[in-house]
Amino acid sequence: MSGKTHVQTTINGEHTDFLCEPRQSLLEVLRDVVGLTGTKEGCNDGNCGACTVILDGRIVTACLVLGVEAEGAEITTIEGIASGGILHPIQQAFLENAALQCGVCTPGFILASKALLDENPNPTEHEIRFWLANNLCRCTGYDKIVRAVLDAAATMQEV
Amino acid sequence: MKDFEYANPTSVKAAVDLLSDSWGNTEVLAGGTDLITSMKQGLTEPTRLVSLKNIKKLQGISKKKGTLQIGAATTLSALAANGDVQQHFPALVTAIEGIGSAQMINVGTAGGDLFQRPRCWYFRQGYGLLGVYEGKSLIPEGDNRYHAIFGNAGPAYYVNPSSLAPALIALGASVSVVGDGGEREIKVADLHTTPSNTGQREFSIEPNEIAVAITIPMNGLKNATYEIRQRRGLDWPLVTASVAFKAGSIVSGTNVVLGHVAPVPWRSSAASAALNGKFVNAAAAAAAGEAATRGAAPLSKNGYKVQQVKVAVKRAILAANA
Ligand SMILES: Cc1cc2nc3c(=O)[nH]c(=O)nc-3n(C[C@H](O)[C@H](O)[C@H](O)COP(=O)(O)OP(=O)(O)OC[C@H]3O[C@@H](n4cnc5c(N)ncnc54)[C@H](O)[C@@H]3O)c2cc1C
Ligand code: FES
Ligand code: FES
């Protein structure tokens, strides 16, 4: 009916243009149009956090943002977290702590954790647990995730 | 989701002109955390979405003539982080923190919180606001554990979902709305209505009106919110109480407003009257909590909320006084 809109954004530091319909969520656009399938779909209604990305410096659930709303925005997805061949300390800590099983929740947890550590480099376990309230994991029981974030915080303070 | 036109106006006037005068034809998009889900679920299928994102006037918080003015599209996280809000309106800060999700409060707006649609599962599953199937509401004999205990004589049984509304009502706030007839002021206390038939929405604004700002008087009221939740995770509360009162050696001007107990934020005049003229202490707070339950009429599965009302009111009063 209303055709496709041309949207210009910066995704993971690279200027990225895409065409999308108004009804496509940013999650659909990232996965199906831009081809960045690291961002996952869980609930598609804001509850699970699997689709968490960083939009203009703040974490959001990409399933509740429209692609057309991203005009002019800077977006960071899980594909933009490592530098070159080197994993981000949070990614490394998730691996070392076995903080993932199926991995569907992991990109969302890593981006949400990054936003936390950028703001609060030395969070308590309590703060981590509350901060990650909008990220659900069906596999790990959360404890390993919380340990991983604590470890990552410690590593990031060393460097 | 059905296809629609996306409009991105930069002025309130242009936005109002793009809105239809019947509900559901067009919708206002603020943060989208509620609306986009409703559209995916087919609860509303607008032909045009009018985004407020690029209207600068709707953003920001400022002091004006003894009040705090909050742009309707200010995000909940910006609101909770504001120094004046933190200093003067702890009732609001607790309500926002209770939402408990950085992802939601980074995007969700103050206006959107007030106008979010009920979470009643019959509504969300497509049975309409009144939960009607074959001419009869499914709710009184159905799973009504999260439904109303006040104002539930029918036909509405859902509870108002807004966390901000009870706190704003306790603080005496109002909302400026703009429509094609110009601007008008509505008390937050008068913003929510109870529909009497399935065609109506639950607001006193018109389909082509936009809330532009929330005004809270800064008159030194002691205030607090106490929320009872199933868990400190992402979900709506079971029962909340927001209170505000003038502190002196004895209390006056009390406003007790309950959340999640009725189709509208529920002002408890009995609880307010019970506290006025008293010294605040545990006994007075408990008596106000007791008074707040007067007239409660629980449905088959939500009797537990009556006790929660007592506790929430008592603790909110003690927190406001702390
Ligand atoms: C899992 C989860 C848990 C949540 N828990 C809570 C909770 O505990 N308490 C709570 O209060 N909220 C809770 N929320 C809801 C969230 O706070 C609301 O969705 C949010 O505040 C809505 O704001 P928005 O800007 O995203 O609104 P939108 O989704 O953009 O809009 C919501 C409605 O308001 C209308 N609207 C928006 N702005 C205006 C305006 N300026 N003028 C006229 N109409 C307008 C829209 O047309 C729409 O109908 C939760 C949400 C989720 C997904
Ligand atoms: S897919 Fe977006 S929050 Fe679950
Ligand atoms: S690892 Fe499977 S959901 Fe978290």
Final residue before a domain boundary, out of A51, A79, A107: A79
Does residue A1 have a pLDDT over 70? no
Give a yes or no: residue A139 inside a domain. yes
- Give me the mean pLDDT over the B127-145 stretch: 96
Would you state the structure tokens that stand for residue A32, as one six-digit string? 């199906």
Other Cβ atoms less than 10 A from the Cβ of A72: the count is 11
A49 and A16 in one domain?
A: yes
Q: Do residues A97 and A44 both lie within one domain?
A: no
User: Stretch B146-165: mean pLDDT, rounded?
Assistant: 97
Nearest to A60 by CA among A79, A43, A84, A76: A76
pLDDT tens, position by position, B281-303: 999 999 999 999 999 999 999 99
Which of A4, A6, A45 to probe by mutation at the B interface, max B CB count within 10 Å?
Answer: A45
- pLDDT tens digits along B101-129: 999 999 999 999 999 999 999 999 999 99
Q: How far is A8 from chain B (nearest CA, A)?
A: 15
B231 interface with A at CB cutoff 8 Å: no
User: How many structural domains is chain A composed of?
Assistant: 2
Do both A16 and A74 map to the same domain?
yes
Q: What's this model's pTM, rounded to 2 decimal places?
A: 0.97
Residue in A23, A30, A132, A129 with CA at minimum distance from that of residue A76: A30
Q: Rounded to a whole number, what is the distance in Å from the CA of B247 to chain A's nearest CA? A: 33
State the distance from the centre of ligand 1 to the C-alpha of A14, rounded, in angstroms.
32
Based on the fold, state whether residues A121 and A68 are members of the same structural domain. no
Q: Quick check: is A40 in a domain?
A: yes
Return the residue in B43, B76, B103 with the most chain A beta carbons within 10 A, the one to mutate for interface testing. Answer: B103
CATH code for the domain of A48: 3.10.20.30
From A31, A60, A79, the end of a domain falls on: A79
Q: What is the best residue among A105, A134, A144, A146 to mutate for testing ligand 3's pocket, by most ligand atoms within 8 Å of CB? A: A105
Contact flag A22-B3 (C-beta cutoff 8 Å): yes
Say if CB B90 and CB B223 are below 8 A apart.
yes
Domains of chain B by range and CATH? 57-217 (3.30.465.10), 223-321 (3.30.390.50)
Phi-psi region of B11 (alpha: psi -120 to 50; beta: other; left: phi over 0): beta
Identify the band that residue B234 occupies on the pLDDT scale cut at 50, 70 and 90. Answer: confident
A46 to B103: CB separation less than 8 angstroms, yes or no: yes
**Domain's final residue, options A44, A79, A114:** A79
Answer positive or negative: Cα dihedral of A26, A69, B4, B60.
positive
Burial B158-180 (b: 16+ CB within 10 A, else e): bbbbbbbbbbbbbbbbbbbbbbe
Residues A11 and A59 in one domain: yes
- Separation between Cα atoms, residue B102 and residue B95, nearest integer Å: 14
Residues A96 and A69 in one domain: no
CATH number (domain holding residue A111) = 1.10.150.120
The answer to whether the beta carbons of residues B247 and B276 sit under 8 Å apart is no
Give yes or no: residues A10 and A71 share one domain.
Answer: yes
Rounded distance between C-alpha atoms, residue B148 and residue B234, angstroms = 21
* A130 and A104 within one domain: yes
Predicted ipTM?
A: 0.95
The reply to whether A73 and A93 lie within a common domain is no
* pLDDT value of residue A2: 57
Q: What's the pLDDT at B233?
A: 78
Q: What are the chain A neighbours of B41 within 8 Å (beta carbons)?
A: 45
Beta strands in A21-61 (DSSP E): 52-55, 58-61
Burial class (CB in 10 A: 0-12, 13-18, 19+), B15: buried
Instruction: Give the one of B8, B36, B232 whose C-beta lies nearest to A64's C-beta.
Output: B36
Q: Are residues A105 and A73 in the same domain?
A: no
- Examine the domain organization and report whether A18 and A75 are in the same domain: yes
**Tens digits of residue pLDDT in B6-33:** 999 999 999 999 999 999 999 999 999 9
Report the gap between the CA of B232 and the closest CA in chain A (Å): 8
DSSP three-state, residue B142: coil
Residue A93 lies in a domain: yes
At B270, is the pLDDT very low, low, confident or very high (cuts 50, 70, 90)? very high
Put simply, whether B37 touches A (Cβ < 8 Å) is: yes
One domain, residues A59 and A115: no
Which residues are paired to B179 by β-bridges?
A: B182
Q: What residues make up the domain containing A73?
A: 5-79
Confidence category of residue A3, pLDDT binned at 50, 70, 90? confident
Q: What integer pLDDT is reported at residue B198 of this predicted model? A: 83
Whether A84 maps to a domain, the answer reads no
